[in-house]
Amino acid sequence: MQTKILLDEEQMPKKWYNIQADLPSPLDPPLHPQTKKPIGPDDLKAIFPMELIKQEVSTQRSIDIPADVQDVLRLWRPSPLYRAHRLEKHLKTPAKIYYKWEGVSPAGSHKPNTSIPQAYYNMKQGVERIATETGAGQWGSALAFATMLYGLQCTIYMVRSSYTQKPYRKSMMQVWGAECIPSPSTKTKSGQAMLAKDPETPGSLGMAISEAVEDAASHSNTNYSLGSVLNHVCLHQTVMGLEAREQLAMVDDYPDVVIGCVGGGSNFAGISFPFAGDKLTGKHKDVDLIGVEPASCPTLTKGLYTYDLADEAGYTPLLKMFTLGHDFVPPSIHAGGLRYHGDSPIVSRLVHDGVMRGISYHQSEVFDAAQTFARTEGIIVAPETSHAVKGAIDEALKCKKSNEKKTILFNCSGHGNFDMSAYDAYYAGTLVDYEYPDELIKESLARIPKVP
């Protein structure tokens, strides 16, 4: 009875999988926020290195992972794939549950899969400093780790509510030599404007993005880096799905269901795109790809598929995606990493086309699932990850009802060792189940910029 399925270091993927090659038609282009015309590489040059801009629009199926990047990724990759025997037994399900365990990275999540190449390409182009935003601190700590390895300075705008309440990820950023600033801050014009409008604002990811983009655009030695949403980020994360597909092949298996949690979408993209590619190219037409999101920020399940800004202030291009509106400030849930108004344009497109689908849960039920997982498999997952756990458990329970021996794969994207206060709240019974009142919002909505 094999529990861990491991790849050797030399079996680590040498190329990323670019799903844009297999889309039936090209993605709708990002639009300039003022002119509403498609943007070109020149519009992005001020804040991104050229290699990442190329990857953003590339339609080449495989893109080489630079040898330097592979060297760093080997610190923890290939990551293990687990068969969740104990969870299966507990659920009494005929289904097979596998999970890809990404908590083994130094930052404790899947985020370094993209922070490493992003820092690398910036370093190669002679950039000295990177500015970014972080919600709960997962991305900030991952980028702090990466920039340190390549000798870059790093400034991180951290959503204010997390900054004061989540001190440990901030401490990690400090250990890795990055500067962490609560957002909105007085350091940027957009931050000043948001504070003038509302001095008590808890901040949001959209606001922090505006500050980081402004910082990068107004300093010639500084670039911007985003931890999710964009095509090149999803691309870098495909190492997870590529490895998982290999690992499953080692035990002669292929998933019927692939599950990941969805905030900006790169975690779900990373685990599912290789399988989505198999679906698009007809190799495995029936694989069910499920993105799990919080009921409080239900972008895929209740958002509109339209062009919207990626940030609060309107510095970023308009992206065609599922969105709750760029001015939506999601409520304060524990899964801070899933609080984003929009979603990856590729994930959005695939959901819109029916290749993937979204589901949503309330936070108390996902903590129930996380507890079950911790008490069977031992791992205490991050609140974000617990959404994927809940999705997997529900699929396994459906199999129990229908007596189907499906193979379920989910991305166990990070540990919750810095999130114990969230578990404390769960046991204290103080978790609030937030909802997105979509019917009322539809009646009120006239705020998304109109694109002809």
Partner 1 sequence: MRRIGFLVNPYAGMGGAVGLKGTDGLLNEAKKRGAVPRSPELALAALRPLKESDIHFLTCSGTMGEDELQEAGIPRYSVEYRAPGTTTATDTRNACSIFLELEADMIIFCGGDGTARDVYDSVGTRVPLLGIPAGVKMYSGVFAITPPAAAEILKGGGKIAIRDAEVVDVDENAYRHGTLRTTLYGYAKTPYIPEMVAGTKQVFEQPDEERAKAEIAQFITEVIDGTPGVLTILGPGTTTEKIAEVLGIKKTLLGFDAIRGRELVAEDLNEKGILTLIKDEKKLRLVISIIGAQGFVLGRGTQQISAAVIRKIGIANIIVVATPYKLSRTPLLYIDTGDPTLNGAFGDHIQVISGYRIAQRKRLFQPEP
Residue ranges that bind partner 1, judged by CB under 8 A: 135-136, 159, 161-162, 164-166, 200, 202, 295-296, 324, 328-329, 331-336, 339, 362, 383, 419, 421-422, 424-425, 428-430, 432-437, 440-441, 443-446
> Look-up: residue for tokens 């510095």?
315
Is 97 strand, coil or helix? Answer: strand
The pair of three-digit structure tokens given for residue 381, joined into one six-digit string = 């997952």
Report yes or no: 137 and 172 within 8 Å, Cβ to Cβ: yes
Name residues whose C-beta falls within 8 Å of residue 235's C-beta, 6 or more positions apart in sequence. Answer: 16, 17, 18, 55, 63
Report yes or no: 343 and 264 within 8 Å, Cβ to Cβ: yes
Instruction: Using the minimum distance from each CB to partner 1, give the nearer residue, 110 or 302.
Output: 302
Instruction: Using the minimum distance from each CB to partner 1, give the nearer residue, 362 or 415.
Output: 362
Q: How far apart are CA 245 and CA 258, in angstroms?
A: 11
Q: How far apart are CA 204 and CA 312, in angstroms?
A: 8
HSE-up of residue 289 (Cα within 13 Å, Cβ side): 29
Nearest approach in angstroms of CB 113 to partner 1 is 22
Q: What are the CA-CA distances from residue 344 to residues 259, 339, 347, 390 (Å)? A: 16, 13, 5, 22
Nearest approach in angstroms of CB 446 to partner 1 is 7
Instruction: Using the minimum distance from each CB to partner 1, give the nearer residue, 141 or 223.
Output: 141
Nearest approach in angstroms of CB 132 to partner 1 is 18
Question: What separation, in Å, do the N-terminal and C-terminal C-alpha atoms of the chain show?
Answer: 58
Instruction: Using the minimum distance from each CB to partner 1, give the nearer residue, 295 or 313.
Output: 295
Instruction: Using the minimum distance from each CB to partner 1, give the nearer residue, 169 or 232.
Output: 169
Name residues whose C-beta falls within 8 Å of residue 65's C-beta, 6 or more positions apart in sequence. Answer: 13, 14, 15, 16, 73, 117, 239
Instruction: Using the minimum distance from each CB to partner 1, give the nearer residue, 169 or 245.
Output: 169
How far is Cα of residue 389 from the mean position of the Cα atoms in its chain?
A: 16
Nearest approach in angstroms of CB 117 to partner 1 is 28
Nearest approach in angstroms of CB 84 to partner 1 is 25
Q: How far apart are CA 201 and CA 195, in angstroms?
A: 7
Nearest approach in angstroms of CB 215 to partner 1 is 23
Instruction: Using the minimum distance from each CB to partner 1, give the nearer residue, 246 or 435.
Output: 435
Instruction: Using the minimum distance from each CB to partner 1, give the nearer residue, 232 or 362.
Output: 362
Nearest approach in angstroms of CB 163 to partner 1 is 11
Nearest approach in angstroms of CB 428 to partner 1 is 7
HSE-up of residue 158 (Cα within 13 Å, Cβ side): 30
Instruction: Using the minimum distance from each CB to partner 1, give the nearer residue, 106 or 202.
Output: 202
Report yes or no: 351 and 291 within 8 Å, Cβ to Cβ: yes
Report yes or no: 267 and 335 within 8 Å, Cβ to Cβ: no
Nearest approach in angstroms of CB 167 to partner 1 is 11
List the beta bridge partners of residue 143: none
